[in-house]
A and B are shown apart, each in its own frame.
Chain A
Amino acid sequence: MRKFKEFIVEKLILICGLFCILVVVLIFIFLLKEGLTLFKTVPLSHFLFGKNWYPISEPAQFGILPLILGSLLVTVGAAIISIPIGVGCAIYIAEVAPLKTKEILKAGIELLAAIPSVVLGFIGMITLVPWIKTIFKLPTGLTALSGSIMLAFMAMPTIVSIAEDALYSVPKSYKEGALALGATRWQTIWRVELSAASSGILAAVMLGIGRVIGETMAVMMITGNSAVIPTSILEPVRTLTATIAAEMGEAVVGSEHYFALFAIGIVLFLISFAINVTADMFLHKK
Chain B
Amino acid sequence: MRNPRRTEKIAFFFLFLATLLIVIPVGLIVVIIIQKGLPAINWQFLSDMPRQGMRSGGIFPAIVGTIYLVLGAIIFALPIGLLAAIYLSEYSKDNFLTRIIKLAIVNLAGVPSVVYGLFGLALFVVFFKFGASILSGALTLGIMILPIIITASREALESVPDSFREVSLSLGASKWQTIRHIVLPNAIPGILTGTILGLGRAAGETAPILFTVAAFYLPRLPKSIFDQVMALPYHLYVISTQVPNVDEKIRYGTALVLLALVLFMNLIAIIIRYQFRKRKKW
Residues of A within 8 A of B (CB): 2, 5-6, 9-10, 12-14, 16-21, 23-24, 26-27, 30-31, 33-34, 84-89, 91-93, 96-97, 105, 107-112, 114-123, 125, 127, 153, 156, 160, 183-187, 189-190, 207, 210, 213-217, 221, 241, 244-245, 248-249, 253, 261-262, 265, 268-269, 272-273, 275-277, 280
Contacts and interface: CB of A to CB of B under 8 A. Distances in A.
A133 B22 CA distance: 23
Nearest to A254: B126
Contacts of A207: 110
Contacts of A214: 110-115
B174 interface: yes
B240 A96 contact: no
Contact of A241 (B30, B107, B112): B112
A interface SS class:
helix
Given A33-B122, A248-B121, A249-B210, A116 B18 contact: no
Interface residues of B, number: 88
A25 to B, nearest CB: 8
24 contacts: A10-B175, A13-B86, A19-B80, A20-B104, A20-B105, A20-B150, A23-B146, A34-B118, A88-B17, A105-B19, A107-B270, A116-B203, A116-B206, A116-B259, A118-B204, A118-B236, A119-B236, A153-B25, A214-B114, A214-B115, A248-B118, A262-B118, A268-B112, A280-B106
Contacts of B146: 20, 23
Closest 4 CB pairs of A and B: A214-B112, A116-B204, A88-B18, A16-B83
B187 interface: no
B103 interface: yes
B1 interface: no
A261 to B, nearest CB: 7
Contacts of A110: 266, 270
Contacts of A116: 203-206, 233, 258-259, 262
